[in-house]
Amino acid sequence: MKIFCTLVLVSALLLSSCSDSVKTRTDNAPLTQSEMTAEQFNLISPITNELIKEYGLDPNYHHKVITVWGIPVIGPKGLDDTLLRNAAEIVAYQLSDSVLNSEISVEIRNKLYQRFFSVVIFPETGQQSGSESVPGFTHLSSGPGYSATKDKPTMVATETSVDYPTPSDKNYYSTEEYGHSAGNSLIHELTHSIHLLALRDVFPSFDKELKSAYKNMRSNRLWSDSGIQYVVNDGMGYIAQNEVEYLAVGSELWNNVRSIEAKITREKDISLHQHLKQNDPQLYKILSQFYNSKNLINPSVSIYKPSYIYTCPINYTDLNTNHAVSSTNGSYNDGDFTYTLFIDGNDFSFSLLSNPQKRERKNREFLSITHVPGEYTAKDVINLNLSLPHPEKSSSFYFGDNYRVEFYFNDTYLTECSTNRTDIVNHSLTEH
């Protein structure tokens, strides 16, 4: 399981410079943001010379941009347009009047805008995260994300951080089986950036209160039972690393991601947000200063909803004969199923990652498979849940006409199932 940990230098976070050389402007961010969902955004490629000059961009790397709340969300040429749209959707939503406390939302956006805050989404490259390829970050360790600071107001986040939870059942968020329980580095780094570029000015006592809450958490070992534990953190998770990480990880829990940091002994029928409120009320109160507790990132922001389930028959006899697999109640203990989704004949994933290996991995995460034993031991079916955009909310680049899923066992082709857009739309409209 991949753990999203910020790699921002602690000294930069704790001692963010206030030097006279920091570039600022006096005008304010837009008061409204009319486009709020991925398919509505105006994507500009290549980036204009004006924006390149204004933000000190490298035209050899920075190639496409979507502007939300006056803030550019940027990607290199190799980043898929749909991926950048999804990232911009999260940024737009997290900075909206719905998510931020309405009393200070405008002030927060103004501070970010006036300090030339920008977001860069980078593609993963081979065995490294990809951050090392972003201009201005090449001298730093490869990692899933870096926060903005006043000296360097650019925030960077990996392409895999554009995925966020969509199931409507809140209980699903608090189970370890959910693939994104490790967290969301885009939300994590955005929280750091809001903290360093805005909150310290909006709330002069913010850092003092945060430090007090962090000290209380360490003294009472509030997260000692977390799903991930570090010796250096006295047996607690990354949330105990320092006060700035404490805030950012708390923000992820607030938004119902990063269940790996939650206590193993927590109630299983509550959301991560509620768990945070119960376990660490001081941190919850601090987050409430700038977050609106009535609006969370799940599930309203995303156009992705589980929308279609169909079955594909699997014959145990074929498995046993061809692959020497033993099975008990639909579980296979001597091998692994893999599968690839094709839409209109093309290998597809919902974040459309540029790296084919990552694309295959994302298919596995978004296509949830369950094995259901049939009436006889020689039969089984695979229930395939396609988490597709709702047909009434998506535009053409999210949807195809023909869907096919190929199933493999131990990398050997097993069978495939097919469906089409008409069936999916009819099913979705019936269900909704």
Structure confidence by residue, pLDDT tens digits, 204-232: 999 999 999 999 999 999 999 888 888 88
| Location of each CATH 2.60.40 domain in the chain | 304-431
pLDDT digits 0-9 by tens, 285-310: 999 999 988 766 544 344 444 445 55
162-218 per-position pLDDT tens digit: 754 434 333 333 343 333 345 778 999 999 999 999 999 999 999 999 999 999 999
The token pair that represents 112 in the structure block: 């970010």
Phi, psi of 370 (to 5 degrees): -130, 145
| Per-residue confidence band for 347, with pLDDT thresholds at 50, 70 and 90 | low
Determine if the peptide bond prior to 144 is cis (ω within 30°): no
Residue range 304-431, CATH number: 2.60.40
| Short-list 290, 308, 319, 317, CA closest to 385 | 308
Which segments of the chain belong to CATH 3.40.390?
10-288
Q: Please tell me the predicted confidence (pLDDT) of residue 104.
A: 94
pLDDT of 374 over the 60 cut: no
Distance CA 122, CA 137 (A): 11
DSSP 360: H
Alpha-helical runs (H) found in 255-388: 272-279, 281-288, 316-323, 356-366
Alpha carbons 21 and 358: distance in angstroms, whole number: 40
* The overall pTM is greater than 0.75: no
pLDDT at 350: 42
Query: Sign of the CA dihedral 348, 353, 359, 365?
Result: negative
Q: pLDDT for 326-340, tens place per residue? A: 333 333 334 466 667
Does domain 10-288 sit in CATH 3.40.390?
yes
